[in-house]
A and B are shown apart, each in its own frame.
Chain A
């Protein structure tokens, strides 16, 4: 334990008081529910209050992989991983391209940056409605483009297409955050490095490969990690775009929501909150494992560059 450095003020009491107030609120409404999820995942807690609650051991976890549920479980697991994987890769690739472009001295670049970042502020509900309108089946812009080619699509109503479209909308919404991080990384590269490379006769590609890429490695690591963790847990957009119980886009968080609170209210059978808590923990472990693997891979890659 580090010992406290000398405290100059007359009394420690006010410091302790406000610290304890802040920490208590955070603990009661933040940490208690978080730890509670783990505890609840070993019980048969139900959505309706005042029903008896029993310990069921690891039954909820066994149920997740039981023949009756494995279909939904694996579907949600696969959707989560596909959603997180594709949206992160797309987000990183696009944001790197946009950042390199907007790092140039072009007129109005602050305005372009602001435009790219705006969807983050508009938020999920507005974003989802804007894109539902863009992809509306009764002759919206997307349908019009398809009709030029003599074809049509149900868009979010098409089980084979829905997840891909949700990924696109997600990328549209969050790409601005990555652009900001990449721009900061680009601006921290000293100009001298490019001068030296130029004097050494490095081509444009070589300067990108041996100056920009290694110097950008920390920004890439930060962006990929933020992107993956965020994408593995995000479900608000999917919730608004396609609803919680649409199988083709149901990610783990939405399965949890449907199991815990029911797609239709009043159906006690579907409101097994102990089971929903177990899904939470499985998702938590998945996020942890994928984060660690990503971190390990990116660190290794940084060292190689």
Chain B
């Protein structure tokens, strides 16, 4: 329905002569279209924002208020719910773990993409095609839950923070491909010029390529960070000590304990969601770049 009007309004917006001649005839359907557009926008906003607002509303209720009137807007906001959820759910420890896993894991993954992506993109190693094929292969690996568990068990890294970090760190996904694609936009002459000036490979990679490639590396880092922050099943399988759980598992077990106390559960969910919503404002650009890079790659 909105599909036909799209091409139409675009042409109208360009205001070419033919369009202007016909404008008398076109006026009516355009006005209809704009009402339709605003209704559609409203529907989208409701579908995507209402659940989050409802969550917030529930988080501010007392248990009794929720049971007697689950959908009504709260009249007496209970800000203390957040404090209770924070303390009972031990979220400070979970959030610390998640931050640790996400930052270190994404740093490892980004480092891997950098050091393997650059020489392959430049053709400084034999077998450029083979390596590029291997980079693509990373995207199509089978679900290896069983062997990831067994490997860490045998390396004595089961239920260790290091083991889990390494496992999520290698979840580089599109990273190496994305980075080797980006390297092609750095002129080859820069390598040569730097080398003539006596700059070594590592200094060149970390002092010259790294700053130039910051947008691409930020995208790679953030794509992986979003994945690690949200990971839950691997953490359930690879960790058994609740003190090491990331916030996803923590929230899930909180749900198991307080399944009937929705206001408290909603407050806990909101505690986890809020940093993401704030952070999202800053990382949005890189996420969009990453999604588009993934398609081109």
Q: Which residues of B contact A5 (CB under 8 A)?
A: 122-124
Quick check: A37 and B144 within 8 Å, CB to CB?
A: yes
Interface string of B261-297 (1 = CB under 8 A from A): 0100110010011001101110110011001101100
Quick check: A22 and B150 within 8 Å, CB to CB?
A: no
Q: Which residues of A contact B150 (CB under 8 A)?
A: 33, 36, 40, 45, 273
Quick check: A177 and B266 within 8 Å, CB to CB?
A: no
A207-B7, A284-B143 known; A122-B126 Cβ under 8 A = no
Main secondary structure of the interface of B (DSSP, over half): helix
Quick check: B111 and A204 within 8 Å, CB to CB?
A: no
Interface size on A, residues (CB 8 A): 107
A238 and B249 alpha carbons, distance in the complex (Å): 14
Q: From residue B159, how far is it (CB to closest CB) to chain A in Å?
A: 13
A181 and B140 alpha carbons, distance in the complex (Å): 21
Quick check: B262 and A117 within 8 Å, CB to CB?
A: no
Quick check: A235 and B233 within 8 Å, CB to CB?
A: yes
How many cross-chain pairs have Cβ atoms below 8 Å apart between A and B?
A: 310
Identify A26's interface contact among B38, B41, B112, CB under 8 A: B112
Interface residues of B in 189-247 (CB under 8 A from A): 191-192, 194-196, 198-202, 204-205, 226, 229-233, 237, 247
Measured CB to CB, the residues of B under 8 A from A are: 1-11, 13-14, 16, 18-19, 37-38, 40-41, 44-45, 47-52, 54-55, 58, 67, 70-71, 108, 111-112, 114-116, 119, 122-130, 138, 140-151, 153-154, 166-167, 169-172, 191-192, 194-196, 198-202, 204-205, 226, 229-233, 237, 247-248, 251-252, 255, 262, 265-266, 269, 272-273, 276-277, 279-281, 283-284, 287-288, 291-292, 294-295
Measured CB to CB, the residues of A under 8 A from B are: 1-5, 7-12, 14-15, 18-19, 21-23, 25-26, 28-34, 36-38, 40, 45, 49, 96-98, 100-101, 103-106, 112, 114-126, 129-134, 136, 138-141, 143-144, 172, 177, 180-181, 184, 191, 194-195, 198-199, 204-205, 207-208, 211-212, 219, 222, 226, 233, 235-236, 239-240, 253, 256-257, 260-261, 273, 276-277, 280-281, 283-284, 287-288
Taking A34-B147, A287-B140 as known contacts, 7 extra A-B pairs with beta carbons closer than 8 A to each other, sorted by chain A number, are: A10-B195, A25-B166, A40-B146, A45-B150, A133-B265, A181-B291, A208-B7
